[in-house]
Structure 1
Amino acid sequence: MFSTIGYIHLFFAIVSMTTGLIVVFNTKGTSFHKSVGYTYVVNMLLLNISSFFITNFNGFSIFHFFAIVSLVTILAGMYPVLKKTKNWLHKHYYFMAWSVVGLYCAFWSEVGTRFVKNMQDFWWAVAIATFLTAFIGARIINKNAKRLISK
């Protein structure tokens, strides 16, 4: 992290985490939503790209795999909006909301690599934090999806 690419990656992560939460917890479809949402998408793309210039564990790692998953999620979330596919709103919402949840799950992995020194403790700490984040995220996503469906 203490390199130029590490600081650039950190910057994109902070902007993505902030804009992701703003988009999730604000009114959908407004010009504010769209502008903050596009800021999120651009920063997530740059975050994912920058991750491939950071090497952990001597090359391609599980973190790079999840960067690819994140990239696919972002693209899957934007495709329905740009192409106005059938049920585009629901597809867009689910993929983009899970993208934000995935970002926060990745945050716990990053925290773990910085602060948990024992690898056995690292995997447990990251697994528990990731599970709780995904569980809470799923609850929020499902609650908000019900509101979108009722409109």
Structure 2
Amino acid sequence: MEHWNWLIATHAIAAGYVVVLGPANIFRRKRDRAHKIVGYTWVGAMYYLCLTSFWIQGDGGFTWLHGLSVFTLLTVTLGLVSAIRRRIDSHRGNMVGAYIGTVIAFAFAALVPGRRIPLLLSEEPATLAFAAALILTSSAALFLTARSLARRNTQPVTAPIP
């Protein structure tokens, strides 16, 4: 199997976080502090994912996936600006669209024979399982911590009893 360098490995890990954290915010009802914490983490992972893609090229140079990275950088930035300006419908549309595009690219990377992820699955399944478990566990820890912080700030303060 082709050598996995640190850039490709961290790119794949960021993709894992994007895929796992996206639904945590998309399907959650509350739009509170936890939503912001998970959302900013997701946006950071998306920016890292898109920017690192430009240094990962096959034999043919840039592909349609690099074009998707440019488009995703634009939509995530527009979604972030929309949230800051409280244009929630635009924010939701941009972020859900960016998530769907990333899931399509992830499926392509994971399912097309000859790409790195299928090769890793067939040659080193324990490594892939460990990376997936690490991503899922740390994502759950982030989500639960963010939710706990959000709850802590919304509980009413009571005056001490004299």
Taking structure 1 as the reference length, the TM-score comes to 0.69
**CA displacement, residues 5-61 of structure 1 (integer Å, 9 cap, x when unaligned):** 110101111111111111111124211111101110010001101111100243121
Alpha-carbon distance between aligned partners in 2 of 1:98 and 1:40, rounded to the nearest angstrom: 14
* Letter in structure 2 aligned against 1:81: A
Out of 53, 56, 61, which is 1:54 matched to?
56
Identical columns (%): 25
Change (3 A) 1:4 1:113: farther
* Letter in structure 2 aligned against 1:22: A
Q: 1:96 maps to what in 2? A: 95
Q: 2:8 maps to what in 1? A: 6
**CA displacement, residues 90-132 of structure 1 (integer Å, 9 cap, x when unaligned):** 000111111111111111211244458xxxxxxxxxxxxxxxx
Out of 68, 72, 93, which is 2:70 matched to?
68
Out of 79, 83, 94, which is 1:77 matched to?
79
* Letter in structure 1 aligned against 2:94: F
**1:63, distance to aligned residue in structure 2 (A):** 1.1
Matches within 5 A, 1:1-151: 2-84=4-86, 88-115=87-114
* Letter in structure 1 aligned against 2:61: G
Unaligned runs of 5+ in 1: 117-151
Check conservation: 1:81, 1:92, Cα contact below 8 A.
Answer: yes
Aligned residues: 113
Taking structure 2 as the reference length, the TM-score comes to 0.64
Check conservation: 1:9, 1:50, Cα contact below 8 A.
Answer: yes
Alpha-carbon distance between aligned partners in 2 of 1:18 and 1:28, rounded to the nearest angstrom: 18
Alpha-carbon distance between aligned partners in 1 of 2:59 and 2:112, rounded to the nearest angstrom: 11
Check conservation: 1:27, 1:33, Cα contact below 8 A.
Answer: no
**CA RMSD, 1 decimal:** 1.7
Change (3 A) 1:60 1:115: closer
- The higher-RCO structure (CA 8 Å, 6+ apart) is 2
Unaligned runs of 5+ in 2: 116-162
